[in-house]
Amino acid sequence: MPLAVAFSMLGLCFASACESSDSSSQDPVPFVATDPRRVESPAVPLLLPGDPALHGRHLALDYGAPRPATAQRDGELGYRVVVPLDRVEVARQRRYADGEFIAMEAVIAHEEEGRVRFEAYGDTRLTYVTAGAPKPYFHPVLGPGGVRMNRAFPMEQVEGEERDHVHHRGIWFAHGDVDGVDFWTEGEGRGTIRHEKSYDFVSGLVFAAFRADATWLDAQGRVLLRDERRYVFIPCGDETVLDVEIQLRAPGEKPVVLGDTKEGLMAFRLSEELRAKGPRATGVLVNSEGQLGEAGWGKNARWIDCSGKVGDATLGVAIFDHPQNLRHPTPWHARTYGLLAANPFGLHDFQKAPKGTGSYTLEPSKPLTLRYRFLFHRGDATTARIAERAPLYR
């Protein structure tokens, strides 16, 4: 039975809205956020601390009228909440009955042959491809309205797309100098990043997630680097958030050098319409410092955004650099032809520093963890409130 009130903050009332998914009744549990700013914006994924008893609890948020929302425990990190959770009326595994909110898993990660799909409310939004290419990548990347946000080439041949940079595959992570071996481009003599396994799958009401291990091999098959990845998928209405965490580890007892080159690192290739320069381009490329277009290339910024017209809709993608990342705010290898890439290593190319200044030595006992957030949104950087949403990622 719906319960009246648990906690009020900034005009938002959190209350238990129903029984748990196993239909057992529960007493209300206060849902307390240590930082109220995290709940100011609607349709934003939040990571909030809370009492462990909150796990599985359904919540109602009062924006003049109650809106359904849920808290989902993410290990020791806290609770992820989307405020508010839209499209409930079309979520196939949700229903209202006698004022109670009944819910099962509606945000799903599931593995198939050679890929992992992230699904929200019955629709696949992101597909992680683990076979058939020199590295794993996401394609297609579907944004609001089911619109493909990334260039289809080289995974698909689409008329009218430019076919430069065959190594630009949707969303990918690679670097152009790992102990002198190029993992950024593809072809003879280059390194390959081999997907090993996917595991720790999580599905639920708010987010889905999984982990994946990868091995970086040179052209002779020698292991130069290993990584562990975690991908967290959070639908916010028809907008999509993808949080990426990658831990890089030296594979043996010798250090590994991540070299000073612009060719890297956490990257996305925009569709023809969304890029800022080209025959069909409508995009506006801007960073957190207000630099536009090529003026932002190699510059340090907390986030970067490119938005444009696709049909009648204005859509965009923002990438956020986590504040705990190496050399935050990161330099960006961002090009008006459609490449967006966060790269903390390319200081020689970006800033004319002496060669090697940006290199990083990965010691065997000290892995390097990097985190990034992708937001596929409606509107441009201003109307999507990218600057306001950036502090929520921490």
Using the structure block, give the residue that is written with the tokens 């903050």: 9
Model's pTM, two decimal places?
Answer: 0.84
pLDDT recorded at residue 156: 97
pLDDT recorded at residue 101: 40
Backbone φ and ψ for 111, nearest 5 degrees, come out as: -100, 140
The amino acid occupying position 249 is R
pLDDT band at 48 (very low <50, low <70, confident <90, very high): low
The secondary element (H helix, E strand) that includes residue 160 is none
Buried b (16+ CB within 10 A) or exposed e, 228-249: bbbbbbbbbbbbbbbbbbbebb
**205, pLDDT greater than 60:** yes
**355, pLDDT greater than 80:** yes
pLDDT band at 10 (very low <50, low <70, confident <90, very high): very low
Task: Give the CA angle between residues 92, 94, 99 to the nearest 5°.
Answer: 145
My answer on whether omega of the bond before 265 falls inside 30° of 0, hence cis, is yes
pLDDT band at 23 (very low <50, low <70, confident <90, very high): very low
**146, pLDDT greater than 50:** yes
Q: Compute the distance between CA of residue 375 and CA of residue 358 in angstroms, rounded to an integer.
A: 27
Chain segment 150-177, per-residue pLDDT in tens: 999 999 999 989 999 999 999 999 999 9
Backbone φ and ψ for 64, nearest 5 degrees, come out as: 90, -35
pLDDT recorded at residue 53: 45
Mean pLDDT of 13-35: 28
Task: Find out if CATH 2.60.40 is the number for domain 108-392.
Answer: no
pLDDT recorded at residue 73: 75
Task: Give the CA radius of gyration of the chain.
Answer: 21
CATH 2.70.98 placement within the chain: 108-392
